[in-house]
Homo-oligomer: A and B are copies of this chain.
Amino acid sequence: MKGIGVGVIGTGFMGKAHSVAYSGSASVFGTGLRPRLEIVCDLSPKRASQRATDLGFSRYTSSWQDVVNDPEVKLVSVCTPNDTHAEIAIAALKLGKSVWCEKPMSSNLPDSKKMLAASKKSKGKTIIGYNYTKNPAVLHARELIETGVIGDVAGFFCRYDVDNEADKKRPWSWRMSRKASGTGANGDILSHVISVAHFLVGSTISKVVGDINIVHLKRKDPTNRKQTKTVDNDDMISALIHFQNGVHGHIGASRVTWGKKCGLTWEVHGTEGTIIFDQERLNEIKLFTRQKKKSTDGFRTILTGPDHPFYKSFLPNGGHSLGFMDVKMCELQMLLFAIEHDTETWPNFESGYEVEKVMDAVDRSALSGKWIKI
């Protein structure tokens, strides 16, 4: 088994998730490249040192350039705030290094375009962390669609609702400001929806009409509890969509929906069947195709198992359940395979840019009140 030196920039949830994936993937998959945890970066040197110990890195730094320039590092994880993705990713790509970049691609379309251009010139591979397309259950769904099991896709419907900001007593944060953060639910979670849409339908969204709803217009100012500050980006966002291949549908997202913890749900309606998924039960899809006898027709709840992509590297028996971290490991494995065999990932920066364009179009449509072609 060959090794590959990796560096992680950013040590929040995603920095940790990448690191844990790097630690376990070779043991799980037993083939391909074995990551070596070379260096980790956090702006605070003290925290960087601590995280290197906790996460098993050989070295640490408080400067992202140290990671990118480290000669041992061939693969860079970008797990920093969205507005720093472009600079770091482009620097790594210029050095021919591969990049595992968290979603969304960047904080604005021009930056994403530059990242795309850099990736096209580089021999480094890229992948964006749209992990909801890496779940074996979802990969299986895509296979079913691709092989015509549900006929031609006719409709695609998806929402992603969470309750992160549902409590109206939560104070204002920079995430609720267009200036500081760009869009709200759009960039944070609708981006996932769009990645799933492109992946499952096998076509990109070509036309949208969007709508934005700010449910909690005023939030307490965290620096002065007697005052409030204005929220000016989307708590909820929705759009009607058309795909290049003629499929219609709608998508939506909310950051203020009580009780939804990871409420990414989608339905693909086909001319011969239907598939339904709920991320909160990520080990099952529901598939309807006709049985010989109409009296026994019904949605089948298919539990993920060894007959589905990736699963048997984790577990020999079906129904034993993968988790979020396992799915992240599948994402890594796709990237490592592409690096080793010089193939492509999905979504690389090219496919990721397609997602960004839709996010942008939904936002502009919501502000203008018009359908927008992409």
Contacts and interface: CB of A to CB of B under 8 A. Distances in A.
A371 B281 CA distance: 36
Given A240-B239, A317-B164, A300 B297 contact: yes
Contacts of A318: 261-262
A374 interface: no
A338 interface: no
User: Which of A34, A140, A295 has the most CB atoms of chain B within a 10 A radius of its CB?
Assistant: A295
A177 interface: no
Interface in A47-65: 53-56
A273 interface: yes
A337 interface: no
B296 A299 contact: no
A168 B291 CA distance: 16
A27 B54 CA distance: 5
A250 interface: yes
Contacts of A305: 261, 295
A271 B255 CA distance: 11
A370 to B, nearest CB: 8
A213 B248 contact: yes
A354 interface: no
A321 interface: yes
A123 interface: no
Interface string A220-237: 000000000000000110
A2 B296 CA distance: 36
* Stoichiometry, copies per complex: 4
Contacts of A140: 295
A291 B302 CA distance: 11
Nearest to A365: B209
Contact of A154 (B23, B213, B289, B291): B213
A210 to B, nearest CB: 8
A94 interface: no
Contact of A324 (B209, B273, B315): B315
B300 A300 contact: yes
A254 B290 CA distance: 18
Interface in A259-297: 259-263, 269-274, 279-284, 287-291, 293-297
Q: Which 8 A-B pairs have the closest CB atoms?
A: A261-B319, A259-B288, A323-B323, A298-B300, A295-B307, A262-B319, A298-B302, A30-B54
10 contacts: A20-B24, A155-B257, A238-B250, A240-B250, A260-B319, A262-B303, A262-B317, A294-B307, A295-B308, A297-B302
